[in-house]
Amino acid sequence: MDMSYTPDQIAFRDEVRRFIAEAMPADLKHKAENGGHYEHAETMRWHRILHEKGWSAPHWPKEVGGTGWDTAQRHIFSEEMTRANAPSLSPFGLTMVGPLIIQFGTDEQKKRFLPRILSGDEVWCQGYSEPNSGSDLASLQLRAEKDGDDYVLNGQKTWTTYAQHADWIFVLARTSSDGKQQEGISFLLADIRNTPGIEVKPFLTIGGTPAFSETWFDNARVPQANRVGPENKGWTMAKALLGHERTSIGGVAESGRLLRMIRRIARDTRVAGKTLMDDTTFRRRLARLEIRQRTVGMANLRTLAAAQLGHAPGPESSILKTVGTELQQEITELAMDAMGHNALGWFDSPTEAMPEYQLWMASNFNYLRAATIYGGSNEIQKNIVSKLILGLPQ
């Protein structure tokens, strides 16, 4: 694989870099420079800025509002967005359900949902996991029973990320108990704000953020027209969507950003007149993580190249999810080691107590403890790799 950029690609990178520098509002730029945490409203402001430019969905086909960029352009754009510490747009609409509707949705569904996902006028969340159905997702029990033109939903979802901000939720629901567990699941789209019987209850993570919610369904009515794909074939939809999710969870660009942050911490940390970058052991640890990050980046490029040829993410996305999330955890562990006593700080610590750009590191470290679990635990991903890639008996 040729990793060198052509003159056109270098020009495109300069264009992206220049746009970010000119388009990012001053208050967001301050947060970007200091590694701050973006609130939902700030992320949506950046979404609208990108949408106005026509860049909110780099990986969508041009005919439905995407950019029409090739793999290299999308990779460059992602790298530059992360390099600038720009807000990361919510993946649930743009990266997950949007591509699924493009692939499997009806013409009416595409017309209804895609423009609003693209513009950010409607925010989405994911309803997959349940209190007793996480890694074993096929055991889910949220019921969807037909009544007239609707499904009536009863049950509970958990770990619904930022559901308190969402307008819509895509859910896996059990529409049949016949046959294998996977055969009785359907993929439904529900209006979370305007459907009576849907209640969202946020709760705090160990990182101190209200990132997750419990979502309850009590006789909530969802039109059958909001089912994506055939009834009882939602597991096919789920696997396709999880492929997109696991690829993004690998967080290649985010790992690169964190590694740059560690270098900044190391340069700012002085002991006896020397910085951490003068310490051979520290440099060795950092170099090993940077090499691994580049390796994962190569694997991610292969996945992007396959997607450009029209192939949905396959079991290879489980490799990216496994090694990418483990790498994220090791990187944040090194960051905490590098920060020393500042690692005891928190995002609400006074700025005079520690550098502003370090305030969110401890919270991020705690949040990423769950990275090897959400999106399908890494143990499950290793089973997928052994069965579908290595061909080992189960």
212, 203 contact by CB (below 8 A):
yes
Question: What CATH number has the domain spanning 123-234?
Answer: 2.40.110.10
The mean-pLDDT minimum among 33-42, 180-189, 376-385 falls in 376-385
Q: Give which of 157, 135, 160 is closest to 211, Cα–Cα.
A: 160
Asked if residue 199 has pLDDT above 90, the reply is: yes
Please give the average per-residue pLDDT across 181-195, as a whole number.
Answer: 94
**Which of the pair, 375 or 220, is modelled with greater confidence?**
220
Residue 311: what pLDDT? 59
The mean-pLDDT minimum among 29-43, 86-100, 290-304, 329-343 falls in 290-304
CATH homologous superfamily, domain 250-389: Butyryl-CoA Dehydrogenase, subunit A, domain 3 (1.20.140.10)
Residue 150 CB neighbour total at 10 angstroms: 16
From the candidates 245, 254, 326, 379, give the one annotated as an active-site residue. Answer: 245
Rounded to two decimals, the pTM is 0.85
**Residue 297 token pair:** 């980046």
Where does the chain have alpha helices with state H?
A: 7-23, 26-33, 40-53, 71-83, 91, 98-104, 107-119, 234-249, 252-268, 280-308, 316-339, 361-367, 378-384
pLDDT in tens, 218-240: 999 999 999 999 999 998 888 77
**Residue 250 token pair:** 């690998």
The mean-pLDDT minimum among 70-84, 273-287, 319-333 falls in 70-84
Residue 1: what pLDDT? 47
Asked if residue 353 has pLDDT above 70, the reply is: yes
115, 65 contact by CB (below 8 A):
yes
Asked if residue 202 has pLDDT above 60, the reply is: yes
The H or E element spanning position 57 is none
Instruction: Give 164's pLDDT tier (boundaries 50, 70, 90).
Output: very high
**Residue 119 token pair:** 């513009």
- Is there a catalytic annotation at residue 245? yes
Asked if residue 245 has pLDDT above 70, the reply is: no
268, 355 contact by CB (below 8 A):
yes
Please give the average per-residue pLDDT across 341-355, as a whole number.
Answer: 84
The mean-pLDDT minimum among 60-74, 100-114, 216-230 falls in 60-74
**Which of the pair, 194 or 179, is modelled with greater confidence?**
194
**Taking the domains of the chain in order of start, what are their residue ranges?**
7-89, 123-234, 250-389
The mean-pLDDT minimum among 200-214, 297-311, 355-369 falls in 297-311
